[in-house]
Amino acid sequence: MLIGKPGPAVSGICTSEAHRIEVRGKDLVDEIMGQYGFTDFFFFLITGRKPTDEQRYFLDLLLVAITEHGLTPTAQAARMTLAAAPDCLQGAVAAGILGCGTVVLGTAELCAKVLADAAARTAAGEDADAVVGDIAAAIRGQGGKMPGFGHPIHHPDDPRAERIMALARERGVAGRHVDLLDRFRTAVNAAWGKALPLNVSGPIAAVLMDLDFPPAMIKAIPILARTAGILGHLAEEQRRPIGFLLAHHAEAAITYDPAG
């Protein structure tokens, strides 16, 4: 049974024969291996183009910025899964990545949507400060959280975010999306009545959009980066296991309440 309206039965990603593998029109062995770094190849797979020097630089920067952040829920889920199934590395990685949502790791995607909305309105002639003020006030009025702002640990600034923004300006890649994100600082603080730090998700979205990375694939950056981070945790879990200890302390921290 066919569900939904299908597209054409065509893929342009990869095909292979006995002695050749072709990826997006290029010979994997002769034209890509040894000539493309992993960041180049990832960008090429997503866009069909080899990145410019600046696209490569900032994609590397952003991947490094979001790869590791300690014993986050994603790392804990992965480590506890590996403790329970030590022969299932892929399952442990999947357990961590499955938690990439609108609270942890997935907020860069939401930032991209907000910035795209603001950019479209300013392109249509609306005043930029009025637009960001309206969007921030609307999100606050609906009881929502502002994507890209606030952090439970980093106050008054997220050092990763400020470093990315500074480098974007220094290297001349900051465009309308970085400008709008900067304007959101004032608008968000006004709407919330207090200073909220710009977190790393905001610059990830803004810089990638200014560098012509597909907005719909921005969530791929934290997914790819955190996969590497999780693998680091799992390598340590194999040597210095704490997965069951994490599970033990989680159980000990919770009070049993059958009436709840």
Instruction: Evaluate the CA torsion angle 214, 217, 219, 225 in order and state its sign.
Output: negative
Q: Which residue has the tokens 């600046």?
A: 54
Reply yes or no on whether the pLDDT at 6 is more than 90: no
For 22-80, the pLDDT digits (tens) are 999 999 999 999 999 999 999 999 999 999 999 999 999 999 999 999 999 999 999 99
Indicate the residue type of 144.
Answer: G
Euclidean distance between CA atoms 222 and 97, whole angstroms: 9
184 CB-contact burial (10 Å; exposed 0-12 / middle 13-18 / buried 19+): buried
Q: Which pLDDT band, with edges at 50, 70 and 90, does 103 fall under?
A: confident
**Residue-level pLDDT at 179:** 98
Q: Which pLDDT band, with edges at 50, 70 and 90, does 226 fall under?
A: very high
**Residue-level pLDDT at 183:** 98
Identify whether the C-beta of residue 67 lies closer than 8 Å to the C-beta of residue 228.
yes
Phi-psi group of 157: left, alpha or beta (phi > 0 → left; psi -120 to 50 → alpha; rest → beta): beta
CATH of domain 107-217: 1.10.230.10
Q: Which pLDDT band, with edges at 50, 70 and 90, does 7 fall under?
A: confident
3-state SS record for the chain: CCCCCCCCCCCCCEEEECCEEEECCEEHHHHHCCCCCHHHHHHHHHHCCCCCHHHHHHHHHHHHHHHCCCCCHHHHHHHHHHHHCCCCHHHHHHHHHCCCECCCECHHHHHHHHHHHHHHHHHCCCCHHHHHHHHHHHHHHCCCCCCCECCCCCCCCCHHHHHHHHHHHHCCCCCHHHHHHHHHHHHHHHHHCCCCCECCHHHHHHHHHHCCCCHHHCCHHHHHHHHHHHHHHHHHHHHCCCHHHHHHHHHHCCCCCCCC
For the chain, give every domain's residue range: 16-51, 53-101+219-247, 107-217
**Residue-level pLDDT at 148:** 95
Mean predicted confidence (pLDDT) in 213-217: 95
For 236-254, the pLDDT digits (tens) are 999 999 999 999 999 999 9
- Omega of the bond leading into 156 within 30 degrees of 0 (cis): yes
**Residue-level pLDDT at 171:** 98
